Amino acid sequence: MDVHVTNSTVRGATRAPPSKSYTHRALLAAGYSGGATVRSPLVSADTRATARAVTAFGGAVGPASGSDAGDTDALVPDDADALAVDGFDGRPAVPGDVIDCANSGTTMRLVTAAAALADGATVLTGDGSLRSRPQGPLLKALADLGVRAESTRDNGQAPLVVSGPLDGGEVAIPGDVSSQYVTALLMAGAVTDRGIEVDLTTELKSAPYVDITLELLDDFGVEATPVDGGGEALEGAAGAAGFVVEGGQSYAPAGGSYAVPGDFSSISYLVAAGAVAAEPGEAVRIEGARPSAQGDAAIVEIAERMGADVEWDRDEGVIAVRRSDLAGVEVDVGDTPDLLPTIAALGAVADDDTRIVNCEHVRYKETDRVAAMAEELETLGAETTEEPDVLTVHGSESDLRGATVDGRADHRIVMSLAVAALAAEGTTTIRGGEHVDVSFPDFFDAMADLGMDVERDGAGE
């Protein structure tokens, strides 16, 4: 679907979508349980993949009211305000068919470790993009723990074959490729007999995402502990040398339900839209922005550093953003890789240079997001310099003008380009607009309600 965004201003209130990161973890945690309700979930292409995996392991997912939990996407409606999960109680069955993770890297990594618990073989695959992403370190870790875990093409990429059962133990894994490897091992390790000790061989990047996992595990009654080099417990994942999760634990949220918080990765586009295109004298108000362990809440501080007029009422969970002159800054995205496209879009509108550093790992997402943002922003008239671990956007040398750009089949690229298009002269056509369904299905509806001049080819077909 092509989306056409014309230079326009925005104002008014909108609500942040639920967190994709929390929804993935909550659905799988509920699957590990004897049964639980996940309230305020994000129902999207990615989270449906996790729901299908829970079903494949012998669980079931469906609306919390109106019908029993079911086993098809049709029984996970887009507007579900709560999902009932019949869990497999820590013992996943061997799936009767291949698990298709579609385009969801989070699903594949978390589910790969869950598959190791089954007493038999599980095959996991996905679309072309997912089959090009690295899974090797997680496969090696599982193999070191005594599980058969292989890439069918012997290249560390899906399709994968995993045969359990996993008993637990101690394992070493790099921390600078994907924090999801750690999350996967911790979630599965809690229901093994022996538990799992994870030793990091390199510094942990994206530590806030592991903090999300630790927070959610605690809410489900599971204890997992980050430790320093001497084995002493730490308060959070940052600076951890490893993690310990005891075996024989049970997943059981208080009251049998868990509520998903708002998604700060998605909030970042709304904050950026207000910063570059809020109607003079007006604000964009974002509701559902309550504090949590999400590292991407850093977008508020980053926008403020760039000169945006931002107010965050943490008690009420409301962010108000007003348009103001922006100036480039340096931002380290080692812990917040999903913010790179948003920051790059802001940098194209700001004066001076915006340097996004420590970003090499952002090249291994749905697409190479460093190259994608550099190339697509240049199509719009921005000046950029791309290095292996640094993206610099030269705002003072940029003059954004409408053009046809490619969303690279990546939801975050599409939404960030839409933000840049608000400030570009004329109309910008973004190819692949339908991919926002991965994390923010109502993005263009929400932006239209705020005043974005947007048209969609084939919308509603």
Q: Is 140 annotated as a binding residue?
A: no
Residue 34 burial (10 A CB sphere; 0-12, 13-18, 19+): middle
Catalogue the active-site residues.
338
19 is in an annotated binding site: no
Would you say 396 is a known binding-site residue?
no
Check whether 105 is labelled as a binding-site residue: yes
Residue 235: how many CB atoms within 10 A of its CB? 10
Q: Which residues contact 375 (CB under 8 A, 6 or more apart)?
A: none
- What pairs with residue 171 in β-bridges? 198
91 is in an annotated binding site: no
Residue with tokens 């109680």: 89
State yes or no: 20 annotated in a binding site: yes
The strand pair at 36-39 and 257-259 is best described as parallel
Q: 365: annotated binding-site residue?
A: yes
In sequence order, the β-bridge partners of residue 36 are 85
User: Is 21 marked as binding a ligand?
Assistant: yes
Place of tokens 């839209």: 273
Annotated binding residues for 3-phosphoshikimate: 20-21, 25, 178-180, 206, 338, 365
Annotated binding residues for phosphoenolpyruvate: 20, 105, 133, 180, 369, 412
Annotated binding residues: 20-21, 25, 105, 133, 178-180, 206, 338, 365, 369, 412
